[in-house]
Amino acid sequence: MKKTNTTSTREAWILCLILGVIMLNFPFLQIFNTGRTLFGIPILVFYFFVGWPISIFVILLFVNRLQREEETETSDDEEQS
């Protein structure tokens, strides 16, 4: 049970890493690499400075999930003992 959790979480992390690398590289960036602006800010700059906090938020979500998993595990352990 614990093992599968860890493995699936690890897979999710690595998936996110790969996704992040893709979204921050050619050719994905090419989508935003235009001269257009949004609220006066070049769309590429906008993309980075909005996408970045979102990715940090994703990490935060994962960390919280990790925390919950661990808490249930420890409470399970306590119940058992």
Footprint of another protein (CB under 8 A): 9-10, 13-14, 16-17, 20-21, 24-26, 29-30, 33, 35, 37, 39-42, 44-45, 48-49, 52-53, 55-57, 59-60, 63, 66-67
| Shortest spacing between CB 4 and another protein, in angstroms | 15
Nearer to another protein, 68 or 76 (CB): 68
CA dist 80 and 76 (Å) reads 6
| Shortest spacing between CB 78 and another protein, in angstroms | 18
Nearest to 28 by CA among 12, 50, 47: 47
| Shortest spacing between CB 31 and another protein, in angstroms | 11
Contacts of 42 (CB under 8 A, 6+ apart): 35, 36
What is the four-CA torsion angle of 11, 17, 20, 25, rounded to 10 degrees? -120
